[in-house]
Structure 1
Amino acid sequence: MLEHTETNDPSRVTEQVTGVILAGGKSSRMGRDKATLEVEGVALFERVLGVFQRIFSDILIAGERPDLARPGVCCHPDIYPGSALGGLYTGLFEADSDWIFVAPCDLPFPDPNLIKALLRLRDGYDVVLPRTGQGLDPLFACYRKSCLEPMRRLLDNRRYRIFDFYDQVRVRYVDEHELPEGWRQALLNVNTPEEFQDLEDLLPKP
């Protein structure tokens, strides 16, 4: 029987994990490129990248965004274009490590504590992701290389719902009571101009 353990050693939490930033979306509902929208003078992509650079030694961009690439952070066009699952597959395929942590490029408040909390639970599993009152969050999650084959089968059959391969792998759902304080804000993303405008209410007042 497989024994599930937690990775509690701080030195191991991000060991052999590649940070993958998903940047293949079209920002159609926003009407402009979400990655370059600024919060407190810093582009959303840069906010995610800055957090990733603090905790991951290897980082890549999944999506054909050469404008976002820089030395040490390469972009990889999606192997299966047109879906979030395709971007996730690309990031996992291109990573040199057995594990990736994936996040979208449009998170205003990415939190390293939440990332590390999810990574600590990965031993014995293939996927680790939050499960909250808002549902599952498969694009802010940990994935292992063992997910590549079931992902590929979905993509080859033009099935793009990420959850559809979860019954073929070992998934650790992390419920609200297990998440660190501030998880709601950390998981917030913006899809419309109205949602972006509402971010002002969450910013510190001068």
Structure 2
Amino acid sequence: MTYSTTPRIAVLAGGRSSRMGTDKGNLMLVGETLLARTVRLARAATGETPLVIGRVATDTNAVYLPDDVAETGPVGGLLTALRHAGGRAVLAVSCDLPALSGEAFEWLLAQSTGNLGTVTRNGEQWEPLFAVYTAAAMPLIEANIAAGKRSLHALIKAEGDGF
């Protein structure tokens, strides 16, 4: 299955940064923050202004949205992105990936998708924050949040062949 329209890119930039003690999106890499770099690469990949979820607006290079459901982590950010994508699939990307490249975006956008989306892997490890999720995944995500389940890894594992 291929995408009927290019997925909307959503940069997930919320989080407490409790393990690191500082906001990872604000870390500098070659003269720009990781968040600004991710937004720039996303914009170049599609020519469209990306969504930034979980962050207060700091510039006009993206559409900034608060989480629709607070305190739910990345799964809540993904739900917010899907709700604001107008029925399109969403390419979800974390704001703190220093090795991210334009080629990586192009590669993922060119992949076929399962009914629920396409999740990348690093060896045997799922990478749910560099993945495409279709609108069909939204009811599952909403149900998981309602049940107090906040793990994207668990959702992906439970749905298996859908991704």
- Normalising by structure 1, we get a TM-score of 0.69
1:96 Cα deviation from its structure 2 partner: 2.3
Q: 1:40 to 1:71 in 2, by over 3 A?
A: closer
Aligned AA for 1:80? V
Equivalent residue number for residue 148 of structure 1: 138
Secondary structure of the 1:137 match is: strand
CA RMSD after TM alignment:
2.2
The one of 73, 77, 80 equivalent to 2:62 is 73
- Find the aligned partners of 1:132 and 1:103 in 2 and give their Cα distance: 15
Aligned to 2:11: 21
After superposition, residues 1-206 of structure 1 pair within 5 angstroms as 4=1, 15-56=5-46, 57-63=48-54, 65-68=55-58, 70-71=59-60, 73-82=62-71, 83-133=73-123, 135-166=125-156, 167-168=158-159, 170-172=161-163
Task: Give the drift of 1:124.
Answer: 4.8
* Sequence identity (%): 25
Cα shift at 1:170: 4.9
In structure 2, the CA distance between the partners of 1:27 and 1:16, relative to structure 1 (3 Å rule), is: same
SS at match of 2:83: helix
Gaps of 5+ in 1: 173-206
Provide TM-score, normalisation by structure 2: 0.86
Q: CA deviation at 1:98?
A: 1.3
CA distance in 1 between counterparts of 2:32 and 2:18 reads 21
Distance 1:72 1:170 in 2: 36
CA deviations over 1:122-152 (Å, ceiling 9, x no partner)? 3453211112226000011001011110100
> Which structure would you say has the larger Rg?
1
Of 126-135 and 137-146, more deviation after overlay is shown by 126-135
Any conservation in 1 of the 2:25–2:34 contact (CA below 8 Å)? Answer: yes
Residue 82 of structure 2 aligns to which amino acid in structure 1? L
CA offset digits 1:148-194 (Å, max 9, x no partner):
1010000001111113333447534xxxxxxxxxxxxxxxxxxxxxx
Amino acid at match of 2:29: V
CA deviation profile, 1:10-34 (whole Å, cap 9, x unmatched): xx8xx43211000111111221121
